[in-house]
Structure 1
């Protein structure tokens, strides 16, 4: 025997899943779908074979702008696939060198300090020595 609330849901006049509402009474937002690298590669192969963007749009059900964005990022997508990234991945991650990140942060702090003190027009040698000091200090 089913609980009463289940029978009420099943006997509702709207299809299952379409009657769901949030606490405020509004319909929940549609989940955003991000194509995997495999799907992007298939789209690129179709475009390279000569299929038009509008036909690819109808085939995959994505917006035309999404297909154009995939087309623009073709080189990066193909590099990600070639660099043995998992084929089902949706995005790729880039590994940064920790010392390089520290040096960039130090350089930004140094430039902000110089901007605040209005000392940007210093001698080039002094700037280079200050940068060298900061990179050796924070690395």
Structure 2
């Protein structure tokens, strides 16, 4: 088996392990014990990882919503393509969500989405 085949096999194995772990996650107390007012209506913009869209963060959105946050997807489609264009689209969506919630919004990115979130904030932690 060559290197590429080993990487593909390992990737499939990791995805399978992650998928098999979802029922266990959903039974865990951190998922089940929701405090509905914990988030106090704070907006959260979810930015997906490389090659994925908003649906990949559906469990995260549900978890946040059950705790009183207002999650929204970045609506950037699949997270592939020109980084500067994705940053601009994420920034526009951030502004829309901030306007809709009437306050500052938290950016929560997974993998490449985290990198895009940092670029949107200018790496200042703002």
Q: Same fold (TM over 0.5)?
A: no
In the superposition, the TM-score normalised over structure 1's length comes to 0.22
The structure that is strand-richer by fraction is 2
Greater relative contact order structure (CA < 8 Å, 6+ sep): 2
